[in-house]
Amino acid sequence: MKELKLMKGNEAVAEAAIRAGCDGYFGYPITPQSEIMEYLMYQEPYKTTGMIVLQAESEVAAINMVYGGASCGKRVMTSSSSPGISLKQEGISYIAGAELPCLIVNVVRGGPGLGTIQPAQSDYFQSTKGGGHGDYRLLVLAPSSVQEMADFAGLGFELAFKYRNPVMILSDGVIGQMMEKVELAEQQPRFTEAEIRENTPWATMGKPNDKERNIITSLDLDSHKQERHVAHLRDKYLEMEENEVRYEEINCEDAEYLIVAYGSSARISQKAVELARAKGIKVGLFRPITLFPFPKKPLLAYTNRIKGILTVEMSLGQMIEDVKLAV
């Protein structure tokens, strides 16, 4: 059996990133996710795996450092919480436009504005519908446990490189701050430069003498070419909808009612399901794990055999719009 550790979600995602062969972390402190950078700085991975950890002057600088690192074909990441993620949106839009892979962790707190440091799920729209300017999507993973915070670091990098697209882990203050037992993956080596040139031939690492140079940009002043580029992005998102939908079903087999909830709300809803079942009410929990792509088809499959759906989220109601569209 592998070693079990008791870790906060924030610590788990940081440790898992090191183990996933992450090359660089760039961040700026904000509650309730500061433990991510604190953990990394304490671990000093630059002395072991060679991973760079840098505290930037702002969230804006941090996401643009991610842009630079990702442009070199490196596995790079940043993390923040809601107000900080808003600041990063410009950079995220550029990263999506330039088709760069990266991992962004959002440990959501309540808003709007400076809001509260307590957990919330009110960044659903921002995360799943783009967030910054222009036509783009992030691939959004919603962990509901510390174990998933760890697992999604490796998965996030894998998907980011598969699609050349930013991946967001949409967590919240509960999952970030709570400790649970977690089983960590083995240490993966960082990509060598030869592997990067092989796997990501678009990367700007210095133009080899026998090859064409690479350019990383999100700009196309020719509107027809830009339109074709956006159509290409759309095709990529359709491919994600086809291949990357993830969800969990708990007590759904005989369910007459369905609770749809993600992240920490799914945890609390699971308790509600247990209590309802004890009273003889047949309730099941449907937990979307990818919020984009949203599990539309599997949810649609329930509509003919259930009496009702209850959407539970820590917001004024954001995911409910996707649930309505799905059914």
Q: Which stretch binds another protein (CB under 8 A): 157-165, 178-186, 235-243, 297-305?
A: 178-186
Residue 220-259 contact track with another protein, rule CB under 8 A, x = bound: -x--------------------------------------
CB of residue 321 to another protein, shortest distance in Å: 25
Which residues from 66-125 bind another protein, rule CB under 8 A? Answer: 66-69, 71-72, 74, 76, 90-91, 94, 98, 117
DSSP assignments along 280-327, one per residue: T--EEEEEESEEES--HHHHHTTTTT-SEEEE--SSSSSHHHHHHHH-
Q: How far apart are CA 124 and CA 46, in angstroms?
A: 34
Half-sphere exposure of 88 (CA within 13 A, CB side): 35
Q: If we measure between CA atoms, which residue out of 21, 28, 104, 105 comes closest to residue 67?
A: 104
Half-sphere exposure of 251 (CA within 13 A, CB side): 23
Asked if residues 164 and 136 have their Cβ atoms less than 8 Å apart, the reply is no
Q: If we measure between CA atoms, which residue out of 48, 54, 44 comes closest to residue 24?
A: 54
DSSP state of 262: -
CB of residue 311 to another protein, shortest distance in Å: 17
Which residues from 258-277 bind another protein, rule CB under 8 A? Answer: 264, 267-268, 270-271, 274
Which lies closer to another protein via its Cβ, residue 209 or residue 304?
Answer: 209
Of the candidate residues 188, 218, 226, 315, the single one contacting another protein (CB under 8 A) = 218
Which residues from 9-68 bind another protein, rule CB under 8 A? Answer: 23-24, 26, 31-32, 52, 54, 56-58, 60-62, 64-68
Per the omega criterion (within 30 degrees of 0), is the bond before 288 cis?
no
Which lies closer to another protein via its Cβ, residue 180 or residue 241?
Answer: 180
Q: How far apart are CA 102 and CA 52, in angstroms?
A: 15
Which lies closer to another protein via its Cβ, residue 131 or residue 293?
Answer: 131
Sites of contact with another protein (CB under 8 A):
4-6, 23-24, 26, 31-32, 52, 54, 56-58, 60-62, 64-69, 71-72, 74, 76, 90-91, 94, 98, 117, 173-174, 177-181, 204-209, 213-219, 221, 264, 267-268, 270-271, 274
